[in-house]
Chain A
Amino acid sequence: MTATIVAQQAINGIVLGSLYVLVALGLTLIYGVLVQINFAHADFVTLGAFAAYFVMHALGGQYLLGIVAALLVGAALGWAINITVFAPLRRKGNELLPLIATIGVSVMLQNAMLAWFGPVPYAFETPYSQKVFRVAGTFFTLQSVIIIAVSATTIALLYAFMKFTFLGKALRAVAQDRETAGLMGINPNTLIMLTIVISSALAGMGGAMLAPVLVLTPFAGASVIVKAFAIVIIGGFGNVEGTILAGLLVGLIESFTTQYLDPGLIDIVVFGLLLLMLAFRPTGLISERREENV
């Protein structure tokens, strides 16, 4: 009995965790090349979810098309925030201003969505939410299987892209040293744009898959993003492997806290862990120590 509960919570935790990874990976990629945080990432998640919802309903239950729509909406939003906020502010060279500007964008988008879509949660039922499998006392929906499959595929593709393609290598070069990338003959601005578009597409897609699991309101992304921030720090900012590990860890913490403690304590446990990490291991789970060059 207990073993079944543990197994069940482990499954729930991994489903949730792989979604968090999708959202957090975007943040960490942007941080890697730009050393900036896009606070509006949360709202790209929400807008992706709404895009998927409306496309699915317009097309009579084509959830997978909804995911594609969310991906495209996310990419478009990423492009937009780069040309309106990140690119102009990069020239000013202040490290805090872009973050503050995206906080403004986030507050604006959230409340625009609130005005547009209202505060009442949308029931995001996909054709796969009802199909339930039972294996050895545990049960999971086809929706969860899709979430894990799509997340794992995306993460694997992204990983392969970063490791094996020229562009991916260039991205990592920019993340380490902007001048080196210039030597490779690549315009860093193009790479930054590419990174933000990819990251935001991941956010949109993450939204389309999160919404059926959580409740879809204008604040859906905001509730996820604070955990994504925690994940990114626990994993080590800019560190892809660390982010994946931390994402799954937070997913598991969340499901087990719900089972054995109290759902109200989730944020406290997650952020308690975050503050402990900051105090004792600020470079993240998998650390690559870098000393500042003066």
Chain B
Amino acid sequence: MSDAAISRAVHPWWASRRLGFLAAALVIAALPMMLTGNYWQTNLTICAINVLLALGLDFILGYAGQLNLGQSAFYGLGAYVSTLLITRLGVPFWAAFAAGVAFAGLAGMILATFAVRLRGHYLAIASLGFAVITYQILLNWINLTQGPLGIYAIPPPPAITIPGLPAISFRNPVALFYLVAGVTLLVYFILDQLVRSPIGETLTAIREDEVSAASLGINTALWKVFAFGVGAAVGGAAGCFYATFVGTLVPDAFFITESFTILAMVIVGGMGTLIGPVFGAVLLTLLPEVLRGVGDLRLMVYGAVLTLVVLFMPGGLVQAARVVGARLGLSR
């Protein structure tokens, strides 16, 4: 077989990236029209925020192989930093958004710098400790965060005016969904480009074996800090959107169980792939909504699913899809 033929066999037309992104954009555009009503539109935006959170964690866990249990903290930092800048200092939304993202990313890099000499479990505990500290600070620094009382009446992003068209107001939940989903798609594109570049090769080498990676000239400490920076920044972006979408902020939204929920989304979808966590996040966001009867037991279902997937299908939905695909003769 020629190289071109091999390339066609490995990447058939229906697996083409451009078509994938186009299809994703169409689905995003169509969803609010198909699923109308306040209830669904709320859930769609929550889905998009959770996808963003899961993508951020997956970059750290699935690619660089570092178990980060502090994603809830980066989420919370993004939310509080952007919101406080907007409500206290009157900073414009997009500047506050950038600051929230940067702050979360920086926090991730600082945590990783501290914890970088540690491997596997130590890092998990250190990041859990970071999540606990962050939560407690949000709860106890009442002068700044108003503690458990929370911050109310957070405005939506300012309307976008394009000359010649009616202004797009983000008080309209559909417009806000388009904004969040659009940014999520952009983040997906960026991460996809990164993991298909030598950066992806470097991170997976670290995930597979750090000593070996160092023997190939990889500065493992530096790249772990990089992975944490990117993943935490994406988590911070999710936090900014959460604050402006819900309109209120209380520390409990960023308790450590939120980290476990995000972890479940990544694992259920399939860590180490980008598409997996997208479906994992959507599934785990909608599952309790579909199973209304067990609504109270949302977290119990998450816990059970997380354990069962690790035990029986550690590659998550992506692995399941591959197994089914192989049965149907679709894959190579």
In the assembled complex, the Cα of A112 lies from the Cα of B260 at a distance in Å of: 16
Beta-carbon contact of A105 and B303 below 8 Å: yes
Interface segment, one of A61-69, A124-132, A275-283: A275-283
Beta-carbon contact of B125 and A229 below 8 Å: yes
A37 at the interface (CB under 8 A from B): yes
A292 at the interface (CB under 8 A from B): yes
7 pairs across A/B with beta carbons < 8 Å? A36-B121, A103-B306, A104-B305, A111-B297, A237-B121, A268-B133, A274-B126
Contact of B133 among A262, A271, A279 (CB under 8 A): A271
Contact of A115 among B114, B118, B137, B296 (CB under 8 A): B296
Taking A96-B67, A97-B314, A265-B140 as contacts, is the C-beta distance between A105 and B307 under 8 angstroms? yes
User: Which 6 A-B residue pairs are closest in the complex by CB-CB distance?
Assistant: A107-B303, A108-B303, A104-B306, A104-B307, A111-B300, A264-B140
Beta-carbon contact of A104 and B125 below 8 Å: no
- What residues of chain B lie closer than 8 Å to A97, measured between beta carbons? 310, 314
Beta-carbon contact of B304 and A226 below 8 Å: no
In the assembled complex, the Cα of A248 lies from the Cα of B114 at a distance in Å of: 25
Q: How far does the Cβ of B80 sit from chain A's closest Cβ, in whole Å?
A: 16
Within 8 A of A (CB), among B256-314: 256-257, 260, 263-264, 267, 296-297, 299-300, 302-308, 310-311, 314
Taking A107-B302, A111-B300, A268-B140 as contacts, is the C-beta distance between A275 and B307 under 8 angstroms? no
Beta-carbon contact of A108 and B304 below 8 Å: yes
Beta-carbon contact of A107 and B132 below 8 Å: no
- What residues of chain A lie closer than 8 Å to B137, measured between beta carbons? 268
- What residues of chain A lie closer than 8 Å to B296, measured between beta carbons? 115
Beta-carbon contact of A94 and B314 below 8 Å: yes
Beta-carbon contact of A275 and B310 below 8 Å: no
Q: How far does the Cβ of B146 sit from chain A's closest Cβ, in whole Å?
A: 14
Q: Which residue of chain B has its CB nearest to the CB of A84?
A: B311
A245 at the interface (CB under 8 A from B): no
Write out, one digit per residue, whether chain B residues 110-146 have a CB within 8 A of any chain A CB (1) or not (0): 0000110110111011101110110011011000000
In the assembled complex, the Cα of A272 lies from the Cα of B65 at a distance in Å of: 25
Beta-carbon contact of B122 and A278 below 8 Å: yes
Contact of B263 among A92, A103, A109, A232 (CB under 8 A): A103
Of B128, B140, B297, B310, most A-chain CB atoms within 10 Å: B310
B27 at the interface (CB under 8 A from A): no
Q: Which residue of chain A has its CB nearest to the CB of B215?
A: A294
In the assembled complex, the Cα of A106 lies from the Cα of B256 at a distance in Å of: 13
Taking A85-B311, A112-B300, A275-B129 as contacts, is the C-beta distance between A99 and B121 under 8 angstroms? yes
Report which A residues bind B (CB closer than 8 A).
31, 35-37, 84-85, 88-89, 92, 94-97, 99-112, 115, 226, 229-230, 232-233, 237, 262, 264-265, 267-268, 271-272, 274-275, 278-279, 282, 292, 294
Q: Which residue of chain A has its CB nearest to the CB of B61?
A: A96
- What residues of chain B lie closer than 8 Å to A101, measured between beta carbons? 306-307, 310-311
Beta-carbon contact of A275 and B126 below 8 Å: yes
Beta-carbon contact of B300 and A107 below 8 Å: yes
Beta-carbon contact of B133 and A100 below 8 Å: no
Write out, one digit per residue, whether chain B residues 145-189 have a CB within 8 A of any chain A CB (1) or not (0): 000000000000000000000000000000000000000000000
In the assembled complex, the Cα of A272 lies from the Cα of B264 at a distance in Å of: 27
- What residues of chain A lie closer than 8 Å to B69, measured between beta carbons? 103
Beyond A100-B67, A278-B126, 7 additional contacts (C-beta under 8 Å) are A85-B311, A104-B308, A107-B302, A108-B303, A111-B300, A278-B115, A282-B117
- What residues of chain A lie closer than 8 Å to B95, measured between beta carbons? none
B211 at the interface (CB under 8 A from A): yes
Contact of A100 among B117, B139, B256, B267 (CB under 8 A): B267
Q: Which residue of chain B has its CB nearest to the CB of A109?
A: B303
Q: How far does the Cβ of A96 sit from chain B's closest Cβ, in whole Å?
A: 5
Beta-carbon contact of B303 and A271 below 8 Å: no
In the assembled complex, the Cα of A164 lies from the Cα of B322 at a distance in Å of: 53
Q: How far does the Cβ of A221 sit from chain B's closest Cβ, in whole Å?
A: 14
Beta-carbon contact of B132 and A271 below 8 Å: yes
Taking A103-B263, A267-B132 as contacts, is the C-beta distance between A275 and B305 under 8 angstroms? no
Q: How far does the Cβ of A58 sit from chain B's closest Cβ, in whole Å?
A: 27
- What residues of chain A lie closer than 8 Å to B307, measured between beta carbons? 85, 101-102, 104-105, 108
- What residues of chain B lie closer than 8 Å to A35, measured between beta carbons? 121
Of B65, B129, B257, most A-chain CB atoms within 10 Å: B129
Q: Which residue of chain B has its CB nearest to the CB of A100?
A: B310
